[in-house]
Amino acid sequence: MMSYHPCMDQPEYLLCINCETPCYTFEWVDLQVKEAVCTVCGADDPDDFITEEDFEAMTSAG
Ligand SMILES: [Zn+2]
């Protein structure tokens, strides 16, 4: 962990990694996704959702 942002609370939205759709309805607990459902592709596994920050890190890495 290179940096920690104590002010970074719940993100405004999450991104579904399957279809890259912003998801505004989710549960955010203890700095991670607890529950989320993608209304587009139906993904409901918390592992299928990431924050915009993580998404950008992921897409710019490769
Ligand atoms: Zn989706």
Asked if residue 2 is part of any domain, the answer here is no
User: Nearest-5° angle of CA 25, CA 62, CA 57?
Assistant: 40
The pLDDT score that the predictor gives to residue 3 is 58
Cα 23 to ligand 1 centroid, rounded to whole Å:
8
How many domains are there within the chain?
Answer: 1
Ligand 1 mean position to 40 CA, how many Å?
Answer: 5
pLDDT in tens, 2-59: 555 555 678 999 999 999 999 999 999 988 899 999 999 999 999 999 999 999 998 8
Residue 8 lies in a domain: no
| DSSP codes, 3-19 | ---TT--S-S-EEETTT
CA–CA distance, 54 with 37 (Å, rounded to integer): 18
With respect to residue 38, please indicate whether it lies within any of the assigned structural domains: yes
Let me know if residue 54 belongs to a domain.
yes
Q: How far is the CA of 57 from the centre of ligand 1 (A)?
A: 19
Does residue 4 lie within any of the structural domains?
Answer: no
Residue 53 domain-assigned? yes
Question: What domain range includes position 39?
Answer: 14-61
26 domain-assigned: yes
